[in-house]
Amino acid sequence: MALHQRTSAAALLAACLAAAAAAAPVGDGAVNAYGQPLLTPSTFTMRGRQVFYEIPAAPILGVLAMMHGCAHDASDFWPRDASACPECDGLPEEVAHTKQALARGYAAIAVDASDATRCFGWHADGEDVAAILQHWIKQNNFTAKPLYLVGVSAGASLVLKLPRLLRVHGVISEVLGVQLDAWGMEELGAAFPPTAYVSMPRDARTAARIADNQLLLRRYGVPTDVLLVQPQPFTSDFLSNRSALFSPELAAKVVAALRATGLLDGAGVLLQDPRYTALPWRARVAAAVPELAAGAGDSLVADASHVGEELNRAYAMHEIVGDHLTACLAWLEARGTLPLAGLAQQFAAARLPGPRLRDLSPRRLGMLPMRRRR
């Protein structure tokens, strides 16, 4: 890279940091476009699927469509609230996505998969999801706004293929690279939208597939970049910082039970994959920490549990990641012309999202969209 190009990129990243550091809620910013408290979704049913969405107060920067992973639901992306959304599951990594989208000025929409296993599939879901998004975008007069897609696992496979059916301005794929012979991106070639990946290198097979995806995208001149997520110790701070259900004291009890079960060592390092281990950690934690079900509201049921999700997030084999959506959106706004890792570092330095994922706010921040680097 020439000196002036490096200087230009560095200057833009510095400007990004300055803007992020100065970001503050705009006005009151506590209500959405319908005058309801933020994180109050609206719902409708179309083509046999439940759809959840929320539109922030104007101005609207764009639309973010969010597709869940297997055994999950669209309702995972909003907090469970007796009045705002009693049917919502409110898992911490998913809710972090919604908060960041709203804070940046994006209308957020999530669609349920139709399969009984709640896994998205291209043939079962592609045309229906595209039709739902097109209908909702037109109904809300968002046709002139950019449409970005984010998906997790099977949801990521879907969003990587949806540009074949509707106009998409950018894609974020979390923990999935699509099989090249099943992708069909060559139909669009250089017109395929910029694509960001969030990869967990511990899953070597998926990481290799993501790398193959990027090679194909670059062959057509499509901007692409990747963020790597490594394993972390599962400590009481890790759990209580990410999930709003857990005080440090309650999280410490959970960690102690997991150590006694043999899933964690003394430093919080996960010794086995929590999703597939034969260790009866769910039963042991439920017995040792009865207030989980009674007070905190965590059933420990797979794919519906804050503890389970954060164990998977710490193990970093295959799980949704709530930390980097703001950086990915900024990268897409710049049409992939800024280093994604640099953006992630800049927003982290400005404490967005900060050390406590649970403290993310959905209130609008006074941040301009990123501009394409010339």
Q: Which H/E stretch holds residue 252?
A: helix 248-261
How far, in Å, CA of 52 to CA of 121, rounded?
A: 19
Q: What CA–CA distances, in Å, run from 330 to 81, 288, 334, 370?
A: 30, 43, 6, 5
pLDDT tens track for 280-296: 999 999 999 999 987 77
Q: What CA–CA distances, in Å, run from 137 to 47, 165, 171, 333?
A: 16, 14, 17, 19
The greatest distance separating any two alpha carbons of the chain, rounded to the nearest whole angstrom, comes to: 62
Q: How confident is the model at residue 349 (pLDDT cuts 50, 70, 90)?
A: low
pLDDT tens track for 139-149: 999 999 999 99
- Return the pLDDT at 348: 80
List the domain boundaries for the chain: 34-230+319-359, 236-315
Ramachandran class of 153: left when φ > 0, alpha when ψ lies in -120 to 50, beta otherwise = left
- Return the pLDDT at 355: 72
Q: What CA–CA distances, in Å, run from 39 to 62, 66, 308, 369?
A: 17, 15, 23, 22
pLDDT tens track for 73-100: 999 999 999 899 999 999 999 999 999 9
pLDDT tens track for 240-289: 999 999 999 999 999 999 999 999 999 999 999 999 999 999 999 999 99
Q: Residue 369 has what DSSP assignment?
A: P
Superfamily of domain 34-230+319-359: Alpha/Beta hydrolase fold, catalytic domain (3.40.50.1820)
- Return the pLDDT at 23: 46
Please give the angle made by the CA atoms of 242, 104 and 152, to the nearest 5 degrees: 55
Residues 6+ apart with CB under 8 A from 241: 355, 356, 357, 358
pTM (2 d.p.): 0.92
- Return the pLDDT at 17: 47
Residue 52's DSSP bridge partners are 43, 110
pLDDT, average across residues 50-63: 98
Dihedral angle, C-alpha 264, 270, 273, 278, nearest 10 °: -10
Q: Which SS3 state, helix, strand or coil, does residue 299 take? A: coil
pLDDT tens track for 107-117: 999 999 998 78
pLDDT tens track for 159-196: 999 999 999 999 999 999 999 999 999 999 999 999 99
- Return the pLDDT at 294: 77
Q: How confident is the model at residue 2 (pLDDT cuts 50, 70, 90)?
A: very low
Q: Which two tokens stand for residue 307?
A: 């503890």
Minimum mean pLDDT range among 17-21, 57-61, 326-330, 355-359:
17-21
In the chain, pLDDT over 90 holds for what percent of residues? 84
pLDDT, average across residues 326-336: 97
Q: Residue 363 has what DSSP assignment?
A: S
- Return the pLDDT at 289: 96
pLDDT tens track for 4-44: 444 455 555 555 544 444 444 444 579 999 999 999 999 99
- Return the pLDDT at 371: 83
